[in-house]
Amino acid sequence: MGKEIFPGIEIDPDKMMGKPIIKGTRITVELILERLAAGETEEDILKAFPHLKKEDIRRALAFSAKILANEEFIFLPEAA
């Protein structure tokens, strides 16, 4: 059974290697982001995955933004 980690987003070690997925599916947040980055529209994604809703795509984006907002980047000096 999956654990909801963000509204509409869950993780389950038995599904997709524990990656964040849209709740009730096997569609990863990563897949949605990759498709958007490749230039696909929401409509393209919804056509490819008819059981998704527009809200699912927006949840994937909101979840990703939340994760990045809490990231800390450490810049190491370049090797000589």
pLDDT tens for residues 3-33? 999 999 999 999 999 999 999 999 999 999 9
The pTM of this model reads 0.88
* Domain annotation covers residue 74: no
Q: What is the mean pLDDT of residues 69-79?
A: 90
Number of domains in the chain: 1
Phi, psi (rounded to 5 degrees) for 28 = -80, 150
Radius of gyration of the chain (CA): 15
pLDDT (mean) for 35-44: 98
Q: Classify residue 15: in a domain, yes or no.
A: yes
User: How many Å from the N-terminal Cα to the C-terminal Cα in the chain?
Assistant: 50
- Average pLDDT of 44-68? 97
Domain span holding position 23: 3-68
pLDDT band at 1 (very low <50, low <70, confident <90, very high): confident
> CATH number for the domain including 17?
1.10.10.10
